[in-house]
Amino acid sequence: MENLSIQGRRQQSRTLPLLILLLVAIYCLPFQSFGQEKKTVPDGTEGLVLTIPPEDSLVKKLPWNEFDGRFSTLKIGFGYIGDLAAFSQSDVFSQQMDTAGLNFESKFETRDARLLMSGVLKNKKRSLSWKVAYMYEGDDKIWMLRETGLTIGVPELAGNIFIGRTKEGYSMVKVMNGHSPWTGERQMALDVIPILADGIKWFGSLPKPRVFWNLGYYNDVFSEGQGFSTFAWQLAGRVGWLPYYEKENNKVVHVAANLRYGKPVDGQITLKSRPESNPAPQIINTGSFQADHSTHIGAELYYSSGRFMIGSEVMMHSFKSDDFEDHTFYGGDAVVSLFLTPTKRPYTTVSSVFGFVPVKKSVFNGGWGEWEAVLRLSSLDLNDKSVQGGKFWRITPMVNWYMTKIMRMEFIYGYGELDRYNLKGGVNLFQTRIQFTVM
């Protein structure tokens, strides 16, 4: 069978001309960026706020990166994340890494860089919005399409339908824009779920009972061979409830359940994860094992009040085989966040996630920006029967400094313990992250 990374690069070469064609088409449309009052429209999950300038309005100038065209609005964004990491290993942990053939080394590397475009088509009958994202993936050193597609408003179904490449919708932190969570990396247990998928998703909510959902079907017809495409097809859903929601004081009680069913590519799957530090190697790894289908169950619980937030997500990943043994793996996290400055992380009921932190006075305007203290405990167990991929837990105290609306620094310490090869070894992780986000 052809090497998957080679297939992924071929997929990349096929998508690039389509992206260039789209850019040319958009560029040819007549745009203006002045004299329009903006109206925000939700775009789903990836964080861009779309705008519709009303006709015959000369009230308010649009931001520098938003434009009004004849057939569509246009918003341009970008993002960059860079990590500087160092590690201190115990003798036992070093022995485990030697056995696995892995090497920890201090370094700075680009986590990702992305270009973003979005807009609202001027269609009076139905809300139609689009988005395109193109990202440099630091691991494989390639550019690839990220969340790209069309969102169709369906008020008769109390929501929207998205068609294209997107996140499945499993887990709040997975749905959130990768630049917005409180910690640098998502918890390890979410690495089992692919970051992207191609398909169709229906998401919506009912305001009075405060119930929300997303349901989707995805396959690998267009993504076959790309690194994230480990399933031939999958069904994913997230359903939740807000028992209490007070927007003015940012008081939220959020409860949700996640369910996913899928078929791994060629009846084989490999699960692996880094210790929540992207410059580090994947220290737990099952290797390839047979799995004809899988079921994933997750639960979310978050409470937020003003500057304080506490939450947890736990999940179970079960893989079934018709001819060999079945396997089940468990993981989860618990997190506490407190802003040291008078701000808060807003909650959006559009996609039922926490959003970007607003900065009242940036460091370039004589302020201190916003400061957040975070503590998280997380774990993932990839040991079950004949599959012994390892078990790792980590505790992470860290500080986020939101210097401006678009610039963020993270100061991260972590201590973790690896249970693998009948040994238990500890490692200290030191990391600083710089992040730029224009959305």
> Band of the pLDDT at 7, cuts 50, 70, 90?
very low
CATH class of the domain at 4-438? mainly beta
- Alpha-carbon distance values, 381 to 316, 327, 334 (Å): 10, 11, 16
Which pLDDT score is estimated for 103?
A: 94
Q: How far is CA 363 from the centre of its chain?
A: 27
Longest dimension (CA), the chain: 72
pLDDT band at 60 (very low <50, low <70, confident <90, very high): low
Distance CA 177, CA 76 (A): 16
- Average pLDDT for 253-273: 98
Give the single-character DSSP code of 363: G
How much is the average pLDDT of 349-369? 94
Burial of residue 300 (number of CB atoms within 10 Å: 0-12, 13-18, 19+) = buried
In this structure, of 39-43, 70-74, 77-81, 115-119, the range with the lowest mean pLDDT score is: 39-43
Residue 104 in tokens:
């920890």
State residue 8's pLDDT score: 46
Q: Which two tokens stand for residue 100?
A: 């696995």
pLDDT, position 49: 43
Lowest pLDDT segment from 38-42, 136-140, 202-206, 250-254:
38-42
What DSSP state is assigned to residue 176? S
276 C-beta neighbours (distance < 10 Å), count: 25
Helices and strands (H and E) in the chain: how many: 3, 25
Find residue 72's DSSP bridge partners. 121
pLDDT tens for 112-153 read 999 999 999 987 788 999 999 999 887 777 888 899 999 999
Question: What is the average pLDDT across 434-439?
Answer: 95
Give the C-alpha separation, 242 to 221, whole Å.
Answer: 36
32, amino acid identity: Q
Collapsed DSSP state (helix, strand, coil) of residue 230: coil
Average pLDDT over residues 29-44: 44
The rounded distance, in Å, linking the Cα atoms of 62 and 34 is 6
338-354 pLDDT tens trace: 999 999 999 999 889 99
pLDDT at position 21 is 52
Query: How many percent of the chain have pLDDT more than 70?
Result: 86
State the pLDDT confidence band at 52, using cuts at 50, 70 and 90. very low
Q: Is 193 helix (H, G, I), strand (E, B) or coil?
A: coil
Alpha-carbon span 335 to 343, nearest angstrom: 18
pTM of the model: 0.88
State the average pLDDT over residues 265-283.
97
Mean pLDDT confidence for 329-333: 98
Residue 213 has pLDDT above 80, yes or no: yes
The 3-class secondary structure across 306-360, one letter per residue, is: CCEEEEEEEEEEEEECCCCCCEEEEEEEEEEEEECCCCCCCEECCCCEECCCCCC
Contact 276, 309 (CB under 8 A): no
- What is the pLDDT, as a whole number, of residue 38? 44
Residue owning tokens 């407190």: 338
Q: What per-residue confidence (pLDDT) applies to 51?
A: 44
Higher-confidence position of 319 and 45: 319
pLDDT, mean over the chain = 89
Structure tokens belonging to residue 133: 């994202």
